Structure 1
Amino acid sequence: MATSCPSHTCGTDAEAAKREEAAEELRLKEQLRRIQHKLLVMSGKGGVGKSSVATYMAFGLSQKGYRVGLMDADLHGPSIPKMLGITGMFQVDDQKHLVPVQVNENLQVVSIQCLLEDPDSAVIWRGPIKHGVIRQFVSEVQWGNLDYLIIDCPPGTGDEPLSVAQIIPDVHAVIVTTPQEVALSDVRKSINFCRKAHLPILGLVENMSGLVCPHCGKSVPLFGTEGGRKTAERMNIPFLGSLPFEPRVVEAGDAGMPLEVGSDASGPFLESLNGLLSEVIDKCSPPLPEEKTEAMTSDVTKEVPRMEKDNFKVAIPLANGMLCNHFGHCERFAILTVQNGRIESREERTPPPHEPGVLPRWIAEQGVNLVIAGGMGQRAISLFQERGVQVLTGAPALDPETLVNSYLQGNLVTGANVCDH
């Protein structure tokens, strides 16, 4: 005869589950706070060398002195361990957190392959399980303080890139293509996916742009020419650079020994890669390695002006419950009321359709005195100032209460205005 469990037991289990969920959310936010730049490397189709680009971006940045994490989110076809010569399984620390594989002094790697006893095992998972694994790869891994987290996703616009966009609100996309039209057609879908998912695009990389003849030095356009640059111009996104087809890269990947990247790197591929890395560094604008301190919270910070009164309202643009970097295209606004220097209430409101000048007027009509945002155009900032609304930009992608409490305590860390228009 079946019996039901006592109600007090069910209540205890539910409370324990809520506490664990809250603790996991806190771990995730704390981990993201310690990672300065998050880059999602994606492509519209397979075979464009996306994983090679992700590997060389991470490896190259680490050799330039930046602290880098490389997360292999291609759960069904992980290839990064092979390209970096990684074998064996992960270690686990005393708190049962995964310890990333240390490739060199500045580069750490996490891949599903390092959780499999047999590297040839097939991973057969549906979307919810993949979402949970990607979340754990961020929150349950001891990444430490990073300048860059490079995330390699499988081709297409399916579960993995969507999960990354939801889990890491301030991630930026690096889209990889080859010059031929069949690849460019798919990459345009990736660009539109990013726009619909409110995922900012750092830029487009054209891979396998040509084979440089080792004898005469001329470039042979194996897959066409200039397709990536023209697509970037037509779709109004930054073009980060072209990488030529290089047989040595193929050989190095098979051997698990990537080509050394440095200021004196020679050869068409490495010279082009250095140019690509310079573009990435410039667009992310992190501090120079020699200027960095041990605490990430001191990086690219700026003085945060304080309100002159203890009673005011704060508006924060939201996406998936966290601060949204795209101020003008957010889903909702959280409006928090501060009384006597403490948060008294919170409400969420849906903004009117985005048109120039509409949001500053609408937010001012809600009685808001302060806006905390990731990025905002200078015109919008001026319109807010005209209405007596103070604006803070460069805030991290955290929940509204954490942002406002940090502001009230005088320890809100802000960086550069991330608006790209």
Structure 2
Amino acid sequence: MANRIGRRILVMSGKGGVGKSSIAVNLAVWLSGQGRRVGLLDIDIHGPSVPKLLRLEGTRLTAYDEKIEPVLYGDSLKVMSIAFMLSNPNEAVIWRGPMKHNMIQQFCDGVAWGDLDDLVVDCPPGTGDEALSAVQVLGTVDGVVIVTTPQDLAVVDVRKCVTFCKQLSLPVLGIVENMSGFVCPHCGKRTDIFPGAGGEQIAEDFRVPFLGGVPMDPTVAQSGDAGKPLITFEKDSPTAQAFAHVFQPLLGEPKQDTKQKETSNMKIAIPLADGKLTAHFGHCGQFAIVDVDPQSKTIRSQMVLDPPPHEPGVLPAWLAEKGVSLVIAGGMGQRAQMLFADKNIEVIVGAPVDTPEALVSDYLAGALQTGDNVCDH
């Protein structure tokens, strides 16, 4: 029987040690507890921790009708991890990219997931082979939950994770700040250990939702070591309530960013040559800046401007000053796309050569047809 999977949710972080797997496990268990059919896929090839967090170590896989049966946790949560395939928990998996891609392909297509409302994918730290393979194999990613901790050391790497999502057009469901303060096990008082407001600052800078913070609580580590997710086994504790608060917006439709929701205008930039979109971004002589109303899906006004000299970082900063939040381009190199992402400007590549009015109208109607990035250098 073919798998029918509803939402595909990636849990990611640009930094290791931020408690990402703990967030993924508790999210999957919480969603399952809401009556949803949930799968939990651990694609951390080199450091799989999901079986430990669910006390499933030592479980061996079985196959039926040429597909691998996922391991069942509780009554309905289906779990898959490479740890189930290792004969020795101390065994190191020393694989290059192609082997990792093939394994993730097997996890997605060769596992009898059946009918799922949600598939939660616990990704390894960073934005390398595993995350790229998951995006390619899943085909559709309905959202990404990004985990950080408050301190600058984590925030720097997590920002790259948000940029990764924007470059691949992956919707960010929100930022979770883990270890957000310390809860004393004796008096219950909370104390901020790390300076700054890392998660909230990332969310504000990149205009994505901030889902909330989960405090540093010794019982989280204790429950993880015991294989008992805190969200169910200590469900009345303040930390479990913090988990539930963070997860609640993920139950239905992704929570909209307040700033985006309230805005009634948007500016779109189109690089031009001879009055139409140029296939090569670096060759544009002018920019059309189109002011639109995203609520009524109408064009308010348009102006054509001469840009400053083309030098790395100049055009993104210039367009950001003009209030542009989206660039529709024919072809653009990865380096240029990253520079735009740093300025919180979304880029759509592969658009056809056409007038600014036609391109923007198609975009607002959800009918913009895009092809290959013809200038990916």
TM-score in same-fold range (> 0.5) = yes
DSSP-derived class of the 1:132 partner: helix
The one-character-per-residue Cα deviations of 1:2-28 (angstroms, maximum 9, x if unpaired) are xxxxxxxxxxxxxxxxxxxxxxxxx9x
Question: Are residues 1:76 and 2:61 paired?
Answer: no
Counterpart residue type for residue 202 of structure 2: T
Does the 8 Å CA contact 1:89/1:117 hold for their aligned counterparts? no
Alpha-carbon deviation of 1:36?
Answer: 0.7
Distance 1:283 1:226, change over 3 A: farther
Alignment partner, residue 46 of structure 1 = 16
In 2: Cα distance, 1:183 partner to 1:355 partner: 43
Distance 1:329 1:78, change over 3 A: farther
Distance 1:220 1:121, change over 3 A: same
Question: Are residues 1:119 and 2:104 paired?
Answer: no
Alignment partner, residue 380 of structure 1 = 365
Runs of 4+ in 1 over 6 A off after TM superposition: 327-332, 353-356
Alpha-carbon deviation of 1:241?
Answer: 1.4
Does the 8 Å CA contact 2:26/2:231 hold for their aligned counterparts? no
Distance 1:107 1:353, change over 3 A: farther
DSSP-derived class of the 2:105 partner: helix
Alpha-carbon deviation of 1:360?
Answer: 6.0
In 2: Cα distance, 1:269 partner to 1:283 partner: 24
Alpha-carbon deviation of 1:227?
Answer: 1.8
Alignment partner, residue 135 of structure 1 = 105
Alpha-carbon deviation of 1:107?
Answer: 0.5
Question: Are residues 1:151 and 2:121 paired?
Answer: yes
The one-character-per-residue Cα deviations of 1:183-211 (angstroms, maximum 9, x if unpaired) are 11111111111111222211111100011
Distance 1:265 1:252, change over 3 A: closer
Across the aligned residues of Structure 1 and Structure 2, the Cα RMSD in angstroms comes to 2.9
Does the 8 Å CA contact 2:37/2:118 hold for their aligned counterparts? yes
Match for residue 249 of structure 2 among 259, 279, 282: 279
Does the 8 Å CA contact 2:328/2:351 hold for their aligned counterparts? no
Alpha-carbon deviation of 1:213?
Answer: 2.3
Does the 8 Å CA contact 1:357/1:380 hold for their aligned counterparts? no
Counterpart residue type for residue 7 of structure 2: H
Alpha-carbon deviation of 1:356?
Answer: 6.9
The one-character-per-residue Cα deviations of 1:216-273 (angstroms, maximum 9, x if unpaired) are 43321112242211210111111111111111110111111222439x9322210111
In 2: Cα distance, 1:50 partner to 1:176 partner: 6
Gap regions ≥5 residues in structure 2: 256-325, 332-348, 370-377
The one-character-per-residue Cα deviations of 1:142-161 (angstroms, maximum 9, x if unpaired) are 00111110111110110011
In 2: Cα distance, 1:350 partner to 1:274 partner: 40
Moved more, 349-358 or 82-91: 349-358
Alignment partner, residue 210 of structure 2 = 239
Alignment partner, residue 221 of structure 2 = 250
In 2: Cα distance, 1:67 partner to 1:209 partner: 30
Does the 8 Å CA contact 2:185/2:218 hold for their aligned counterparts? no
Give the % identical residues: 45
Counterpart residue type for residue 5 of structure 2: I
In 2: Cα distance, 1:169 partner to 1:162 partner: 11
The one-character-per-residue Cα deviations of 1:47-87 (angstroms, maximum 9, x if unpaired) are 10001000100111111211110001000000110110003
The one-character-per-residue Cα deviations of 1:109-153 (angstroms, maximum 9, x if unpaired) are 000010111121110100011011101101000001111101111
Does the 8 Å CA contact 1:177/1:184 hold for their aligned counterparts? yes
Gap regions ≥5 residues in structure 1: 1-26, 286-326, 333-348, 364-375, 392-421
Counterpart residue type for residue 8 of structure 2: K
Alignment partner, residue 301 of structure 2 = none
Question: Are residues 1:183 and 2:154 paired?
Answer: yes
Alignment partner, residue 110 of structure 1 = 80
Alignment partner, residue 269 of structure 1 = 239
Distance 1:265 1:350, change over 3 A: closer
In 2: Cα distance, 1:356 partner to 1:213 partner: 58
Alpha-carbon deviation of 1:351?
Answer: 2.1
Alpha-carbon deviation of 1:353?
Answer: 7.5
In 2: Cα distance, 1:146 partner to 1:62 partner: 10
In 1: Cα distance, 2:51 partner to 2:77 partner: 13
* Aligned length in residues: 281
In 1: Cα distance, 2:213 partner to 2:157 partner: 18
Alignment partner, residue 67 of structure 1 = 37
Counterpart residue type for residue 147 of structure 1: D
In 2: Cα distance, 1:48 partner to 1:283 partner: 26
Question: Are residues 1:199 and 2:184 paired?
Answer: no
In 1: Cα distance, 2:9 partner to 2:119 partner: 6
Counterpart residue type for residue 152 of structure 1: D
Question: Are residues 1:161 and 2:131 paired?
Answer: yes
Does the 8 Å CA contact 1:210/1:245 hold for their aligned counterparts? yes
Alpha-carbon deviation of 1:96?
Answer: 2.6
In 2: Cα distance, 1:242 partner to 1:153 partner: 20
In 2: Cα distance, 1:53 partner to 1:355 partner: 46
Alignment partner, residue 317 of structure 1 = none
Alpha-carbon deviation of 1:167?
Answer: 1.3
Does the 8 Å CA contact 1:209/1:225 hold for their aligned counterparts? no
DSSP-derived class of the 1:93 partner: strand
Alignment partner, residue 343 of structure 1 = none
Alpha-carbon deviation of 1:354?
Answer: 10
